[in-house]
Structure 1
């Protein structure tokens, strides 16, 4: 009996304790406030334009918003409805396609919420680049997306032209030189001839032979030097302690090549060794089959390590001189236009179309579009480009809101 009384007493005690806890909310409710911290705000790490004053998820990517323990940025884009009288929502836009808008909250094809667009965000011009507009980013947002810049400067640029070549053994050139020298001898023999026709004929033969030499790539100075030399021209086939190397240069690169430019040559059969030379001549006529120009170089080889008909790798160093240049990373190529984003100060970015020249050593030569001393964005270009396109779409909506698209 006493054991039964003890069990009944325990049950009554547990019941009384449970009733006391349920009847007193202060005993089981947390004393900490459930609201967001008084300082700071919440922001999406992938989409910094998404800012909220309370926890939540990003309507674009669905990621949890991260708390930023800093003062709320000026005019943040809140996820919820802003305080009455603070900012007015004029429409909602597609999270992935800024040109698609709706007058009321909606969801896209993937179930993501449309993003509210406030009245103050419609201010601004469309800029000089079609589809892009200037905009402003706070320093915090620039740091968040990793914006870096570089100054537009004049610098010495150099282009390297890479080509495949061979160590030449050129019987055709040898034959052309022999014919030219024979034509010179014939003209000397008819110099005192009483028949003018003989002199005219020998002159024509000399001109024809000289033309063949030009077609083989020899310059006028080299042809004149051949006329002064005596003996067999075997040195053009296999010169003493040197070899001829012929390289094929593409048609669009040929205008950059000039005689006297430095050349580096490497051979797979002689690993670890680099030969140096200079451009001696460029063929004036392109190969009709490959549309390449033949470049000739006389390469010193005292040890005869380069054998005739060997394949070689040729690098021609072409100095472009002092040119206004921007880093390659700064240029965004849309397929039709090349764009850079110029930093104007105060967090403002301006899209600018540029005309580019040659690409060299990680830089682009700039023909027009920017000036010396201006700063351009070199990283986070795609995020900057997306923001610029979005601002342009908003500006276009402000000018012609009836043209905006609405979800069906």
Structure 2
């Protein structure tokens, strides 16, 4: 074989070997990132729509000219296709919506009760209280065998008092009566009344003609003896309290009503009460007062109702369920979590078609459990977004859709505020602590703790480096304190130092 043919054969074999090696390498390692990027940029997964840019759904205001991993979160960038921004609604890739937990619900007519059932407790009626006091100074001779907590009947004996001051006044009255002087007798009798002597005792002295130094104290009403402040042999002074008795013919039922349902409670309205102690029995009462002060901790109003207690079976402290308000009525309701309150208006996102959502302002009414009444803006049967609205709302804000809905005058102001906010954000410096988990010449990946200035939770994310060589003296595993800021390409670290405390997360 000639030298030329040998050379040609060697070159051919080398070329065949290189081709086989390249093919094997491609088969084992897969396509290169560059090839993937070109393929992704040239077409969408479903069709040949043009990709305008890529973005992170969690930080949609930042745009990227090629696919890859988000510098903010541990997730891939999402493509934005031509034509989506010009549509009337917000388009979200169904796969992204599923990944972020977007869930829908149906606006439907339901009968929601104008009545409401709330827990309540039985209390003593503080309007039916009798306090027994000594009308003059004296000594306690006898006390009834009762104690606080006992129930007594009306007119029951409570205590017997010896009042020496009354003795002289009664003797003077009887002496003047024997003289026959009607004027003096009437004046002496009036003096007995002014000394605090009960009318029945004065009449007894007139009838018997004998001095009565002892007087008895009786319960003016039947009920619960809450306090008994006398014992035999005690000295009492004028005005001293002897006992406190609370009537039991009626009791209070006090409930904590959520303030959003305050309209259901009106003074004089009837209530129905059921108690666990008496299953199957429904008692009737009426609202006597809605206290004027709401609880700042529980956001509830105290509603008080009077409940008859003829058999005395209702005891203070019993647990009950109180139903108040009118009959149920039909209303259009949606899940309460589907409504976004902006401060100026309430918005729900309506599903136009799979993957496309439109913000609709609504007027909301009453809230019942996990449902919210819609007075205007929706129709029964419409699908609304019940969870994951943060993604759709961010996209709508980025497109200026909400500003266009609010009117021409609102859009420039909103745009100016947004620009000012972005300018302020880019100039703001934030600080954090964390541990280095990855290093490249252009990026550092940190497992950092919460960042209060941005309301970030603890997470792991990558940061661009503001200057090359900023972390040359560090290694993976070092615990550091770092300063970063927002730039056009994402968040970048401007300063890194070792954590003097150890800084472990």
**TM-score scaled to structure 2, two decimals?**
0.41
Please state which structure has a larger fraction of its residues in strand. Answer: 2
**TM-score scaled to structure 1, two decimals?**
0.49
Between 1 and 2, higher relative CO (CA 8 Å, sep ≥ 6) is seen in 1
